[in-house]
Structure 1
Amino acid sequence: MIVPSISSEEALSRFQAGKLTDSEQEWHRLVPVEAQEALGKREVQRQSVIFEVIKSEREYVADLEAVQDVFIKGLRSANPPILRESRLQEFINGLFGNLDQILAYHQRLLAALFARQREQHPLVQSIADIILDTTIKSDFRAIYEVYIKHYPLAESHHRKQLKLNRAYELFIHSASNDPRIRKRDLITFLSRPVTKLPRLNLLLEQILKLTETEYNHPDLETLPIIQGILKDCIKSTQPGIEAAESKVKFWALCESLVFQKGEIIDMDLYDESRSLVYTSAVFRRVRTETGFSEKWSDLDAALIDNYFILTREEKRPNGVIRRLLMSRPMPLSFLRLGAFNDSPETRREKAADDGGILDGWRTQSVPIYPFTIYHAGNKSTRRYTLYVTSETQRKKWYNAFVDAIGVHKVRQDANMWFNPQNITDGFFRSPPRDPSRQSNAVITSRIRCAVPYMYGSPGRRYLAVGCGPGVYVGPANSEKFKRVLTHKNPIAMAAYTTWENKVFNRLVVQVDSSLLSYSLDILTRVSLGQSDPHSLDASLDRIGGSDLSVTLFRHVNVAGRALLICASKRRMATSMNLHVFEAVNAAELSLVPRRSSTSVPRTFRPFGETGYIPRDASDIVGLSKTVGVCTTTGIITLDPTNVVQSAVTIVPELRGASEDENMANLKSRTEGLKPLGFVRANPAELLVIYDEIGFYIDKHGVPARRCGYIKWEVKAVSYAYRNGQILLISPEFIEVRNITTSRLVQVIEGRDIRLLYSVPYMSKEDPVLVAMQGGKDDKDGVSDKIVELTETQELSMVTPTTATTSIWDEWDM
């Protein structure tokens, strides 16, 4: 008997109300001894397990209700608030998930179990039908799957808030004093739904074993059905738990990373699709200055689905773990696998401590297994040989790399920002690798320059292509080209077609130090066999006359004018002349009388006075209202419509480097680098582009974003800009980066890549053209192909308003 003074029914009522002591909450304490002896040992055990199911359900519901009353309501009513109101609900959702849905189900289940217990006590025939009625519902399993898969993230939210929020830590400590919490940690309560179904399954398994088979008891059929449902639910949540645990590890990694000071690296870590593929401890050999002895560096390697990183763990006194980057993160687009089958080597380690006097001096040789990875753009300087402790772990790394690189490539191919499309591959050829196999095919040599333009009605795109023998013209997307100009090795070309309702119809070619202008219409008709080649000579205009010795020229459209800007040599001088010419509208040319039948009207007229630029100028780049002249000391910005009287600004403005450590660091990074140009990144910033790095400047030319810089993966030779994306072009790769965040979004591979055509003010129809080694290598030679980089999706662009663009008035942009 429980207590002589009360009946079994009263004891049951007190049990269901949770008013019995722990020692009294057993089935045999609620049932007379005579009744137990009449039932037999097997049935007594079965009734005890059924009672345990009901008891555990009561405790489970009580714990979930305590979470609602103590923790959730406590967080909402805390004064002063523990978290900002804007974040509170989001935090509660992230911490407790759909716990309220689980509680509602089990409150109904417990009520039904209590009713059955009151109805049949002390001999409960079965509770299987009640449990089956609950578990068979599809949304019951669904809510458990949602909660269990989210649990590792919930635990992570809790532990992170404990570290960061003192008020939250005090709240949790205070809540543990509540009688319903009984000093238990919140993690204990959060994990209750995770362990509930496996524990219930074990109890039902015991009931099934104790159920007599000879009487055809309904539990013999019902309990296996319930067990199957519970096992399926438990099994289905395992992958989700593993994924969530991996996400927690990934977050912990991200939050602990310490980047090199000054460098901007946007690895897109907090995208929903990011995941941690594999991580483990690795070793790296470090040679001493003498080179005779070897030391080892213990590192942590992590393979994310878009980057590989090497870190060294550092534990701070407050328990916070920092992971210092030991090298720049390597994008999977550039990661290549070296040897993974080299013979194991040995590493000397301290032997196990057996308590001997000399244990501190004893060492042992431990086998370690090397593998090599490298950066495709820096094969020698960014090559890493790492070591792990077993062949099994080395194979795990290999499989992880192969899978991650494969998935990354598929994602990149399916989400290209720019789709490389061949315009021509076969006509332009370099000599074959084996001269003895050479045919009689025309050898044009490598493509040096090219420009697209429209001809005819309806307009069709044509290409003028400069090679060793001269200039070839033909329709785009064909192999039908004809040499129309015989000037050897043209350096650069530009097509002046239409601008601001003006028609120019001119092709400008730089040959040696001369600028020659030809009629595009006649040029095209000659290529089609519709005009005599000599008619081209009649359209020739030598820009600037025969005395102009040009080193470089560029076509820019500024302030409604189609301009040609060129630099010319000055003998025995430290500077060069800067000339500006304006393209003459064809309508004006038709009104100018010719002096003779052989004279050609000036198709480009001088615009303003001649200015001067440093002799080391390497390029001229255009913005909307200004141009930049790239020199070794920076980029000189000026107004091309008034070169002589223009306000001149040199960017970047680094005069504050002596007082600003960040600026001094940036200044040292730019020393010896070649500036390539700049592009507007947003209404308030420009991105300045050097061959190895880039950084942002404000309207005064002063570095922005705390003087942070972006290091390109490969040294760039040139660049193009298109609708919010910057394309950095090197001989083997094209890096496509978001101009606002610097995030690497695509990598295009090739051989001998050269930028042919791109202008920063391009309309949506204007192409980006590059040349690279083609796909044909036979007796006719090695092909050189022209590739158009075509946008594959609409990109979001910030369109400056009149108010925002006024901040550029100082540069008159």
Structure 2
Amino acid sequence: MSIPFPEPYVNRSRSSQAYLDTPPPVPPKPSDLGHRYSRSELSTPTQLHHTASTASLSSSYYHGEDSDYATASADSHADEGLPRELTELSLQSEEGVLNFQAGKLPESEQEWYKLVPTEAREALGKKEVQRQSNLFELFKAELDYVADLQAVFDVVVTPLQNSQPPIITQRYLKGFISEVFGNLHQILQQHIKLRDALFVRQREQHPFVISVSDIILETTLKADFRAAYEIYIKHYPISESHHRKEVRRNDKYRAFIQSVSGDPRIRKRDLITFLSRPVTRLLRLNMQLEGILRHTGEDHPDLENLPVSLDIVRDLVKSTEPGIEAAQAKVKFWALCEGLVYQKGEMIDMDLYDDSRTVVHAGPVARKSRSSTAGTSWADLHLALLDNYLILTRNETKSSATVKRYLVSRPLPLAFIRLGSFTDPPDARKEYDKEGSILGLRYHNVPVYPLTVYHASNKANRRYTLYVTSDEVRRVWKSKLENAFGVYTARMEGNMFFSPHTLSDGFFRTTGMRMSSNAIIRGKISCAAPFSIQGRHYLAVGCTSGIWVSQRGREVVDFKRVIAFPSPRAIAAIYAHGEKIFNKLIVHDESTLNSYPLDLVAKVAEGKADAKSLSSSCEKIAGQPKNVVFFRYTHVGPRLLLVYAYRKLLQVSLSLQVVEVLDISESNIAPKRGLSFGRKPAEQESKSFRPYGEAGYVPKDAYDVTALIKTIGVCTADGIVIADPTNLMRKPNVVPNLADASSNMPMATLKSKVEDSKPLGMIPHGEELLVVCDSIGYYVDRHGLPVRNCGYMKWETKVQSYAQRGPHVLLVSEEFIEIRLIDTGRIVQVIEGKGIRLLYGGPGQDAVLVAMKGEHDDAHGVSDKIAELLETSEIQTAHPTSASADLWDEFDA
């Protein structure tokens, strides 16, 4: 039986082949043995005792049912004259056996026939001589095996642990020894016991060893014995990989390994030889037991015991094969990871060192390109399918034997891969002959078979047609890809961080091809806001036909229109914050910003009040002559601030205004204020909002506001303007600060990426902020300077909006929602849909709400679905602490 990786070198003795296939060596003639003992010499007490113990071996070893065999065997040998001869011989080999077991016998003398008198061999017969040779080979193999394992600890492990100065840094030494030598000490202890038991039997029964099957069976039945081998063999490829890696990178370790090879116990053998000994020992033990069984007599009890031991050993070898293959795959995976060379500046967290990562399939591929001058050219590449990514690289082998794998394109997450054609007819590739032409221009055409994969969100620009050498290879690739997709999908569905839960699908409809003439079309959903009042939960939804509200538990039952303003651009529901009650539904309707009592909105939705009363309660926050462009609200300490940008007629730049939302009790007793800040009487109508500082100015292309801790960020085409909401007239900072790009190459690379992207906002994260753009993300410090060596992450899709929940950022595009870790940008989940829009993303820890194309397309029109993304696992919420809040004081200075 073979294992699925090359069998390492095994130190075989010169007699190892004899017990397997060939007859035993021809015994020397009696005349060649020299002195023969006389009867008087044979009668010494020591020799008589040894002879007696040997002659009575059958009766002392066998009992019960086997006693019949012992008697019959003794009678049989008596017929051949064996017992009589043995009792008359002085077994001078006793001293040789003791020397053999003590390791003092020269290797050339370590043969059974050299330790046995000629008369004994002649009396046994050819088959039994072969069996005794097999048994002796088992003793010798066990002696050598234990000696080799002990040498590993005496010559390598202990000196490594005690070396001064350290060969391997003390911090990593313990882990290195654990990874390379694993549980080898457990295997050594098991085999010391086995060797000692075999040696006792050999001393008792030599030169005619009846059986050792009971010892082998008892050993192989031990759970500790089998477990020790399973653990070690399955880990072996990883052990070898760690050793080889350390040899390549650590000059001290390499010199140490070379120096110990001169030790007599090592005999210039590589450490890999010793590490692989347990891997091959079971296979060799299996062959030795087969040899003993093959030369065992028909009535011998070993015919019952040995097959049991053989089955145990075979099953143990077989059970380790999947583990070996998994470990080999892990080693290949590590080699791939360590050789990857990324594009300069790009940060990609593929979660490569997770325990579950593995290479599913890999192999060479070719890629064809055409140019007007050179015609068709081919590039030889390497395609690796991981369990979470597909990687295309150009490999180069350096002098150090380390393979550098240069990424040809960004790795493709399995969630975004789609399969194209795998059945196109083969193409022809020219291969030039190395011989047979003086000019070297002779060539022949070789068929290559195309396969196509593409990125689901960028079908045109990220489409890869690759070529393999045969249709069979192409079919294997397709099968591996499909299986990997299935496993990945199942894993993601069973480990979702955010679970999509449909709230409504069918109430809101848009026009469709199958729509009937009397269909009720409420229009496309544009915004939504959840809110709660006195334990009752509601959902407000803005669409083409106005604002609709429904009371909800787990499911949304029905909606009722509460405000008829068409196509609201954004809404926000603010009921309470801390001990304060605000009771506001803020509606951005075209160019105006209005407020409605939230409790009255709920009553209208429940049919307890009419829409006219709600309309009459409208409170204008801003409007003509101000055209409101966008708004956001944020909490600064106990205050709730509303930030909005507006543009007046003929005004080029945008004005930014902050107003404070008043608590209900405060707004009810607040007197009407006179003119302040140069405001006209028409602008002083609001009782629930009061200006908070002077108005400021932002670039004309500003389009959104992101709330930080004590500051706000205004998103513009040229970056994010950091402003103080309490004093908008203060000179703002701009993020990112790329002033040193001319002299800093990484910063220059980041600048080129930033210029091609649209900033959407920022997320505070420890001492950094993650800047979220539509195509990339990057980190800055509190001064706006890029950190992490100006690295950036490229999103898989063109992002339209985002939301933060705990340690995750949810990037929303038209067809996908990428859920990534804020800390590294690693993709942890992907949600797919059509026409996805972010309806509600915070602040707070409410479920994120999204709209997308629904499941219905019928006579009532095409449905627009509302889904909430519920967190499925307990995640610590990142609440700002006083320390983290103080971190942003510089923006407030």
TM category (shorter chain) comes to over 0.9
CA shift, 1:91, in A, is: 0.9
CA distance in 2, matches of 1:588, 1:113: 94
Contact persistence 2:509–2:863 (CA under 8 A): yes
Contact persistence 2:213–2:305 (CA under 8 A): yes
SS of the residue 2:103 aligns to: coil
Alpha carbons of structure 1 residues 534 and 804: separation in structure 2 relative to 1, 3 Å: closer
Deviating more after overlay: 5-14 vs 718-727:
5-14
Is residue 90 of structure 2 the alignment partner of residue 12 of structure 1? Answer: no
State the TM-score, normalizing by the size of structure 1: 0.95
SS of the residue 1:448 aligns to: strand
Give the one of 156, 170, 177 matched to 2:241: 156
CA shift, 1:228, in A, is: 0.5
Contact persistence 1:352–1:359 (CA under 8 A): no
Deviating more after overlay: 513-522 vs 303-312:
513-522
Which residue of structure 1 aligns with residue 39 of structure 2? none
SS of the residue 2:608 aligns to: coil
Alignment of 1:76-95 (within 5 A): 76-95=161-180
Which residue of structure 1 aligns with residue 591 of structure 2? 513
Alignment of 1:100-179 (within 5 A): 100-179=185-264
Give the one of 446, 459, 482 matched to 2:524: 446
Deviating more after overlay: 58-67 vs 547-556:
547-556
Which residue of structure 2 aligns with residue 665 of structure 1? 749
Q: What amino acid is the match of 1:338?
A: G
SS of the residue 2:566 aligns to: coil
Which residue of structure 1 aligns with residue 74 of structure 2? none
Per-residue CA distance 1:614-657 (angstroms, 9 max, x = gap): 1100111111211111111111111112212x341111111111
Q: What amino acid is the match of 1:563?
A: L
CA distance in 1, matches of 2:427, 2:326: 35
CA distance in 1, matches of 2:880, 2:260: 53
Which residue of structure 1 aligns with residue 868 of structure 2? 788
Which residue of structure 2 aligns with residue 312 of structure 1? 394
Q: What amino acid is the match of 2:740?
A: G
Is residue 501 of structure 2 the alignment partner of residue 425 of structure 1? Answer: no
CA distance in 2, matches of 1:780, 1:384: 41
Give the one of 158, 179, 193 matched to 1:73: 158
CA shift, 1:288, in A, is: 2.7
CA shift, 1:100, in A, is: 0.9
Give the one of 329, 337, 357 matched to 1:254: 337
SS of the residue 2:626 aligns to: coil
Alignment of 1:711-722 (within 5 A): 711-722=794-805
Give the one of 396, 407, 410 matched to 1:328: 410
Which residue of structure 1 aligns with residue 317 of structure 2? 234
Alignment of 1:286-685 (within 5 A): 286-290=369-373, 293-351=375-433, 353=435, 356=436, 358=438, 360-435=440-515, 437-438=516-517, 440-455=518-533, 457=534, 459-476=535-552, 477-544=555-622, 546-591=624-669, 602-644=687-729, 646-682=730-766, 684-685=767-768
Alpha carbons of structure 1 residues 515 and 23: separation in structure 2 relative to 1, 3 Å: same
CA distance in 2, matches of 1:88, 1:3: 56
CA shift, 1:601, in A, is: 5.3
State the TM-score, normalizing by the size of structure 2: 0.86
Q: What amino acid is the match of 1:384?
A: Y
Q: What amino acid is the match of 2:458?
A: N
CA distance in 1, matches of 2:879, 2:590: 41
Alpha carbons of structure 1 residues 371 and 72: separation in structure 2 relative to 1, 3 Å: same
CA distance in 2, matches of 1:774, 1:65: 69
Contact persistence 2:702–2:714 (CA under 8 A): yes
CA distance in 2, matches of 1:282, 1:680: 43
Contact persistence 2:454–2:464 (CA under 8 A): yes
CA shift, 1:532, in A, is: 2.6
Deviating more after overlay: 310-319 vs 156-165:
310-319
CA distance in 1, matches of 2:806, 2:103: 68
Q: What amino acid is the match of 1:7?
A: Q
CA distance in 2, matches of 1:303, 1:545: 57
Unaligned runs of 5+ in 2: 1-27, 36-90, 674-683
Contact persistence 2:622–2:628 (CA under 8 A): no
Determine which structure has more spread, i.e. the larger CA radius of gyration. 2
Alpha carbons of structure 1 residues 56 and 584: separation in structure 2 relative to 1, 3 Å: same
Per-residue CA distance 1:332-353 (angstroms, 9 max, x = gap): 1111111112222221213475
Contact persistence 1:312–1:323 (CA under 8 A): yes
Alpha carbons of structure 1 residues 611 and 431: separation in structure 2 relative to 1, 3 Å: same
Which residue of structure 2 aligns with residue 769 of structure 1? 849
Contact persistence 1:539–1:600 (CA under 8 A): no
SS of the residue 2:585 aligns to: strand
CA distance in 1, matches of 2:429, 2:650: 64
Contact persistence 1:592–1:601 (CA under 8 A): no
CA shift, 1:592, in A, is: 5.1
CA shift, 1:289, in A, is: 4.1
Alpha carbons of structure 1 residues 719 and 667: separation in structure 2 relative to 1, 3 Å: same
CA distance in 1, matches of 2:329, 2:550: 56
CA distance in 2, matches of 1:41, 1:638: 100
| Root-mean-square deviation (Å) | 2.0
CA distance in 2, matches of 1:379, 1:443: 33
Contact persistence 1:370–1:387 (CA under 8 A): yes
Deviating more after overlay: 792-801 vs 399-408:
792-801
Q: What amino acid is the match of 1:619?
A: D
Give the one of 39, 43, 55 matched to 2:124: 39
Q: What amino acid is the match of 2:377?
A: K
Which residue of structure 1 aligns with residue 824 of structure 2? 741
Contact persistence 2:414–2:488 (CA under 8 A): yes
Give the one of 361, 364, 385 matched to 1:281: 364
Contact persistence 1:540–1:600 (CA under 8 A): no
CA distance in 1, matches of 2:878, 2:606: 43
Deviating more after overlay: 155-164 vs 112-121:
112-121
Deviating more after overlay: 626-635 vs 81-90:
81-90
CA shift, 1:803, in A, is: 4.1
Unaligned runs of 5+ in 1: none
CA distance in 1, matches of 2:890, 2:163: 53
CA shift, 1:797, in A, is: 5.2
CA shift, 1:358, in A, is: 4.6
Per-residue CA distance 1:476-521 (angstroms, 9 max, x = gap): 3324112222212111112221124222222221222111222222
Is residue 786 of structure 2 the alignment partner of residue 703 of structure 1? Answer: yes
Per-residue CA distance 1:56-109 (angstroms, 9 max, x = gap): 111111111111110111211222211122211211111111111111111111
Is residue 771 of structure 2 the alignment partner of residue 688 of structure 1? Answer: yes
Contact persistence 2:504–2:866 (CA under 8 A): yes
Alpha carbons of structure 1 residues 285 and 142: separation in structure 2 relative to 1, 3 Å: same
Q: What amino acid is the match of 2:852?
A: M
CA distance in 2, matches of 1:798, 1:580: 26
Which residue of structure 1 aligns with residue 80 of structure 2? none
Deviating more after overlay: 147-156 vs 341-350:
341-350
Contact persistence 2:670–2:687 (CA under 8 A): no
Per-residue CA distance 1:266-305 (angstroms, 9 max, x = gap): 1000011111111111111122343x72111111111111
Contact persistence 2:594–2:622 (CA under 8 A): no
CA distance in 1, matches of 2:175, 2:260: 21
Alpha carbons of structure 1 residues 300 and 545: separation in structure 2 relative to 1, 3 Å: closer
